[in-house]
Chains A and B, each alone.
Chain A
Amino acid sequence: MKNDKKKMERRQFLSSTGKALTGLGIAAGGGSLLAQDTQEAGSEGSKSFPTDDYDWTKHRWAYGIDATKCIGCLRCVEACKAENDVVGDAQHFRTWVERYVYLEGDEKVHVDSHADEQNIAASGSESEYRFDNRYKDKKVTKAFFVPKMCNHCAHPACVQVCPVGATFRAEDGTVLIDHDYCIGCRYCVQACPYGARFFMEEKGVSDKCTWCYHRITKGLMPACVEVCPTGTRVFGDLNDTSSPVSEFIRNNPVQVLKPESGNAPMCFYIGIDKDVS
C-alpha cells in the first residue's frame, strides 16, 4: 500500500512537472526529457494502478440519486461518518441530506438539513441525525429530500485551484485528496460551488467524499449506497452498460446541480425541483 502511494505521488509529480515545464515553455532538450517522463507515466498507467488488483483506467465511476425515493432516514450520513472516520459534529459532512418543504399560501421554499440546530436538538446528539417534526401543524403542499455529496465533477474547480496538486481527478473519474500533500490553504473549499468540501482542523487538511475509494476499488459499493434502504443512491461504472448507474442514466431524464458552473458533475439526479441548487 505504501509502495502504491509512492507510485501515485510520483505519477502526480511527473504530471505536474510535465505541466510546469510546458508552462515555462522549455523547448528542445527539455522537450525530450518531458516526452520520456510522459511515456514512463503512461506505461505505468497501462499496468494495474493504483493497486495490484485495481486498474483505474478500466473504470469510469458515476453516481445516481433518485430524490423521489429518499425518506430522509439519514442512515447514509451516519454510515459515511463511521466508514470514513469523519469528525462527529454538525459542521463536517462528506454527505448530507436536505429537506425541501412548500407550505400552503407560502411561495417560498423552506430548506433545512439534519445539521440544522433544531434537528440536532431533536436527535440530542451532534453525531446522530434525524429530521424533526417541525411542520406537523402546517399544511404541506409539497416536500422531498435531496441527498448531497461531492459531485466528482469532470471539470472540478477544486482541482483547478489547488496550488500543489494535492487534490486530483483520478483516471477512473473520482476526485481525491492526498492528505500527505495538502498544505491546508482551503482554496478548494472556497472553489467548490456545492459546499462539498470541509477542513479537518485537527489534521490541517481538506477532506470530502471519495465515493469510498477504499471500497469501490475492491468491488464494493460506497457505504452510503450500501445502507440506503430505499435504493435512492445508485453507484456504478459507466464503462459497464449494465451497471446500476448506467441503467439509471439511460432510463431516466437526469439532471445535475448547478450546471452553469461548468464543473460537469458526475452525480446525476432525478426528482429534484427548481429550488434545489
Chain B
Amino acid sequence: MTEVAPFIGYVYPNETIIQWGVLIVIYPYLTGLVAGAFTVSSFYHVFGMQQFKPVARLALLTSLSVMIFVPAPLLLHLGHAERSYYSMITPHLTSAFAMFGFFAAFYTILLILEVWFVFRADNVKRAQNSTGLARIFYRAVTLWSDDVSPRARRIDAKWLLTLAIVGIPSAHGLHGYIGFVYGSLKARQWWESDLMPIIFLFSAIVSGIALLMVLYVLVSKLRRVVIDQACLKGLTYALWGFLMFTVILEGLEFANLVYKGKEGVEMIMEYVQGPLFWRYFVLQFGFGALLPVAIMGLMIAFNTRGRIFVIGATTSALLVLMNVLLMRWNVVIGGQEIAKTGKGLLTYPMPFWGHESIASASILLIIPFLLLWLLTRLFPPWVERSGKT
C-alpha cells in the first residue's frame, strides 16, 4: 500500500517511505485559505473599508466552510485518528502539534459566533417571512430571539467588532503556527528557517484574497449581477501588495539558504536545479508570482477597467492560488525529497487512489466549496450595490 520513494545518492533506509504526503500539503493550504478569507472579511468588519462590503460576508462564510474541513486531512493522515483527542486531554506542551486542537477548536467557535452575529438580523427577518420547516429552522438558528431593535443591533455590532478583533490574531496565529511546525524542525535544512512562519502567514493572506477574487467574480457571473469594480480593484491592490511582500520573503529565504551554504547545500542546489526547477522556479515563482505581479502592476499603472480588468484580476488570482498550493507542496514534499543524509534525493510517489492520494486530496479541496454553496443558500451573503459598473 505504501509506495517506496525512488532515490539517488545515499538516503537513510528509513527515509525511503515519504511520511508526510499530499494530505499534509492540503492541510496548510486549507488553513491558509481560512486565514486569508478572514483577513478579507476583516478589511470591512474591523477596518471599515467600505469597498470590501460586497465580499465581506461571503469571505466570512468561506472562512467557516474551509475551517470545518481543516482537521480532515490531519485526521485522515493519522495512524490512529481515534486517538487524536489525546493531544487535547494530555497535550505535550513542547510540541507545536499539541496546540492544533485547541487553536482549531477556538477559531472554529469564534467563526461560528461571528457568522451568527453577522447574519442574525437577516435570519430573524427570514424566520418571520417564512413558514413551515424553514421557519422552524431559522427560528432555531436565531435561538428563538427576534429582537432586532436598534439597541440589540448595537450590541450585535459591538460583539462583531470584538470577535473580529480577536479573530485577526487568532487566524494569523493559527497559520503562523503552522509555519512554525516546519520552521522549528532542525532535522531538515529545507524547513529550518526563521522566516518560515512569516512566509506561511503572508502566503495565507495572499491565497485568501485570491480565493475571494475568484469566488466573487464567479458568483457574480452565476448570479448575473454586475461586478463591483471598486471592490475587485481593492482586492487586486491588496493581492498585489501582499504578493510582492511574500515573493520577496521567499526569495530572501532561498538566498539565505544558498548564501550560508551549510553542509548539504550541494544536494539542495542539485535538487532546485533538477527536479524542483519547474515546480519551484518556473511554476511557483515565474507563473505563480512574477506573472501576476506584472499583470496586476500593469493594470494598476494603466488604470485598466471593465471586462479586461476583471479577466486580468481573475487570471492573476488563479495563478496566485496555484502559486500558494505549489509553495505548500514544495515546502512539505520538497523538504522530504532532500534526504537527511545531505547525500541523496528522493522522489515522492503520489498514489492516485487511497486515503492519501490525488483523489483524497482533490475531494478535500472540493468539499469545503460544496459546504460554502450550501451556506450561501441558507444564509445569502450577497450585498448589492446599485449604479456602479
Where the two chains meet, the residues of A that have a C-beta atom closer than 8 Å to any C-beta of B are 12-13, 16-17, 19-20, 23, 90-93, 96, 98, 111-115, 148, 157, 159-166, 181-187, 189-199, 201, 203-206, 261-262, 277
User: From residue 22 to 80 of chain B, which have CB atoms closer than 8 A to chain A?
Assistant: 74, 77-80
Cα distance, A235 to B129, chains bound together (Å)? 80
Contact with A along B1-18 (1 / 0, CB 8 A): 110100000111111110
Task: Assess the A199–B186 pair: CB atoms within 8 A.
Answer: no
Contact A91 B79 (CB under 8 A): no
A181 and B4 contacting across the interface, CB-CB below 8 Å:
no
Instruction: List 22 interface pairs A-B (beta carbons < 8 Å), by A numbering.
Output: A90-B16, A91-B13, A92-B13, A92-B14, A93-B13, A96-B13, A98-B10, A161-B185, A162-B92, A163-B98, A164-B87, A164-B90, A183-B78, A184-B79, A185-B74, A186-B19, A190-B20, A192-B187, A195-B14, A201-B79, A277-B341, A277-B342
Cβ–Cβ contact B87 & A13, under 8 A? no
**Structural contact, B14 and A160, CB atoms closer than 8 A:** no
> Are A185 and B78 touching (Cβ within 8 A)?
yes
Contact in complex: A160, B94 (CB < 8 Å): yes
Q: How far is the CA of A192 from the CA of B4 in the complex (A)?
A: 20
Q: Is the C-beta of B86 less than 8 angstroms from some C-beta in chain A?
A: yes
Chain A nearest CB from B202 CB (Å) reads 24
* Alpha-carbon distance A198/B87, docked complex (angstroms): 21
A19 and B12 CA atoms in complex are apart in Å by: 34
- List residues of chain B with CB within 8 A of the CB of A112: 10
Q: How far is the CB of B261 from chain A (nearest CB, A)?
A: 15
Query: In the complex, what distance in Å separates the CA atom of A264 from the CA atom of B160?
Result: 50
Cα(A199)–Cα(B340), bound, Å: 16
Q: A111-B10, A184-B78, A203-B79 known; A261 and B95 CB under 8 Å?
A: no
Q: Which residues of A contact B1 (CB under 8 A)?
A: 201
Apart from the given pairs A161-B185, A183-B87, A186-B79, 20 other A-B contacts in the complex at a CB distance below 8 Å = A17-B90, A23-B93, A90-B16, A96-B13, A96-B14, A114-B13, A115-B16, A157-B185, A157-B186, A163-B91, A164-B92, A164-B98, A183-B79, A184-B79, A186-B20, A187-B97, A190-B185, A193-B186, A195-B341, A204-B78
State in angstroms the CA–CA spacing of A58 and B47 once bound together: 62
Most chain-B CB neighbours within 10 Å: which of A98, A157, A187? A187
Q: Which residue of A lies closest to B79 (CB)?
A: A184
Give complex CA distance A12, B92 in Å.
10
Say yes or no for B343: interface residue by CB 8 A criterion: yes
* CB-CB nearest in chain A for B4: A91
Please indicate the chain B residues that have their CB under 8 angstroms from the CB of A194 in the complex.
12, 340
Distance to closest chain B CB from A141 (angstroms):
19
Q: Is the CB of B13 within 8 A of A199?
A: no
Assess the B90–A165 pair: CB atoms within 8 A: yes
Whether A19 pairs with B79 at a CB distance below 8 angstroms is no
A166 and B95 CA atoms in complex are apart in Å by 12
- Which A residue sits closest to B11, measured CB to CB? A195
**Are B87 and A163 in contact, CB atoms less than 8 angstroms apart?**
yes
Min distance, Cβ B80 to any Cβ of chain A, angstroms? 5
The residue from A148, A160, A164, A186 contacting B86, defined by CB atoms under 8 A apart: A164
Contact A19 B14 (CB under 8 A): no
Nearest A residue (CB) for B87? A163
Residues of B within 8 A of A98 (CB): 10
